[in-house]
Amino acid sequence: MIQTLVEMFSYNFIIRAFIVGILVSLCASLLGVTLVLKRYSMIGDGLSHVGFGALAVAAALNLAPLEVAVPVVIIAAFLLLRLSENSKINGDAAIAIISSTSLAVGVAAVSISGVNTDLNSYLFGSILATTTADAVMCGILAVAVIVVFVIFYNKIFAVTFDESFSKATGLRTGVYNTVIALLTAMTIVIGMRIMGTLLISALIIFPALSSMRLCKHFKTVIICSGILSICCFFVGMYASYSLDTPAGASVVIANAAVFLIFAAVEAVKTRIIKS
Amino acid sequence: MSLITIENVSMGYEGKTVISNLSIKINENDYVCIVGENGSGKTTLMKCLLGLLPVQSGTIKYSDGLKQNEIGYLPQQTLIQKDFPASVSEVVLSGCLNQKHTLFYSKEQKKLAAKNMERTGIYPLRKKCFRELSGGQRQRAMLARALCATRKLIILDEPVTGLDPKAMQDMYELIKRLNISGITVVMVTHDITAAVNNANKILHLSRNSYFFGIAHQYLHSEVGKKFMITDCPCDECQHIHHLSGGEQQ
């Protein structure tokens, strides 16, 4: 195993993919706790589809992919949050409409421009796709997410737990929701290059859900999902390298396995307590 | 002394006016119950008091150094909270966030949270997970959080909904104790019997009109008589009279 690891890390592109992947996993898992608890899990999925559409259109028009995708996804994030808050429009349906439309636009753009090989790597990710610029941007993003989380930890908790109470006691809930939407959008755009548009939302949802099976305090849920997410990424990448499976899919399978284990432990625990 | 003065206020949402020309005064140490049919504007009034909704016209004034963000609020529980992984003390502490803005909770804030958990009797459960509590224990935790946010006034939105009879009675007793200890209580409720038994004033909202007065008067008012399922037997009245007389001493 150690030999395989040494061999793995002798490739520069793998080191880059690891740096970006670990940082994105960490950011996604932190943001995921609030998103899952606020019932916004599907927003991650919707945003990644929007990201796909934007990337495909950018490629067709020969524009720099990230410079198009980042603003488009950020705008979509605000739109989706607004829609979810507005009780007149069904948030679920809105997400479904936006994600399928962007997927359709993306697929059409790819077929018009005729670069079919890219389609696969957009949808399912590729570790070859990360550049040094991505790694730098990722580092900045990760620092931003962690700093925001530490500074606003108590407020994020309050806004997640009870928005109307927080608002009534003078917390500017709109600001915190906006910050979370912005960071989520950034995380998704950067992460979907490795993980793929169809799989990136798993990084947001799985670690939070797994740790919520067993952890009972908000703080432990956050710490646990951060650690789980990094471990799963590591295991997934190792499996991907040694079994020659796609990186994104392997990481998601690792996350799913952890979720199943945690859910089983929870079930056993409740049974023991009951009896 | 008046704590909240509501003058000629009209309020509503989405362009509709639900309550018009409401003028009432809530005094320090009052226990006011807001009753009325569904859609009569109880929740709208409460949201306006909390500053969650703007009033359409008129003014709501807070006096005696009470700021709008210093009102303790016990909202109805949401679906999100049913499976929320948080300890009781994490929940209660979040009530301290309207005080001076520091990154982490200070020692005084932790003391305040502990004091309020003792007041509502959930201090022994402080390390427990919120989602594992019973309905009554959850409401006590939420009440402790509300108390952290205020020194003077709590607004409760149907605090006994979904509680079993024992928990309900405990909750009413707890609220009464808080009121006696000097906290002004404003409560939206459907439980009219408990409202009349506990509150010193009743605000009955109905379309285009309202009744505001002491609980005893309410029983003999036209709206009160209509709204009570059973007529007020005069024994009951005597009983209430006796109660409110006892408190003034």
Domains in chain A (CATH in brackets) are 2-274 (1.10.3470.10)
At B102 the three-state DSSP class reads: coil
CB-CB under 8 Å, A37 with B98: no
CB-CB under 8 Å, B149 with A157: no
CB-CB under 8 Å, A171 with B98: yes
Distances (CA, A) of A111 to A57, A68, A127: 10, 19, 23
Query: Nearest-CA residue of chain B relative to A158?
Result: B94
Of the residues A34, A165, A175, A213, the best mutation for testing chain B's interface (the one with the most B CB atoms within 10 Å of its CB) is A165
A interface with B, Cβ–Cβ < 8 A, is 37-39, 150-151, 153-155, 157-158, 160-162, 164-171, 212, 215-221
Domains of chain B and CATH, by start: 1-66+152-249 (3.40.50.300), 78-151 (no CATH)
Q: Looking at beta carbons, which residues of chain A come within 8 Å of B79?
A: 39
- Residue B123 CA to residue B119 CA, distance in Å, equals 8
CB-CB under 8 Å, A221 with B69: no
Smallest CA–CA distance, residue A166 to chain B, in Å, is 8
- The three-point CA angle A115-A75-A116 to 5° equals 10
- Residue B140 CA to residue B86 CA, distance in Å, equals 15
B69, B75, B83: residue with CB nearest A164: B75
Q: Looking at beta carbons, which residues of chain B come within 8 Å of A217?
A: 85-87, 90, 129
ipTM over 0.90? The verdict is no
- Residue A135 CA to residue A193 CA, distance in Å, equals 11
Residuewise pLDDT in 10s, chain A (275 residues): 788 888 888 888 888 888 888 999 999 999 999 999 988 888 888 999 999 899 888 888 888 777 888 899 999 988 887 776 665 667 778 888 888 999 999 888 888 877 655 677 778 877 777 778 778 888 888 888 889 888 888 999 999 999 889 988 888 888 888 888 888 998 888 888 888 888 888 999 999 999 999 998 999 999 999 999 999 999 999 999 899 888 889 999 999 999 999 999 999 998 988 87
Q: Is B15 left (phi over 0), alpha (psi -120 to 50) or beta?
A: left
C-beta of residue B155 within 8 angstroms of C-beta of residue B73 = yes
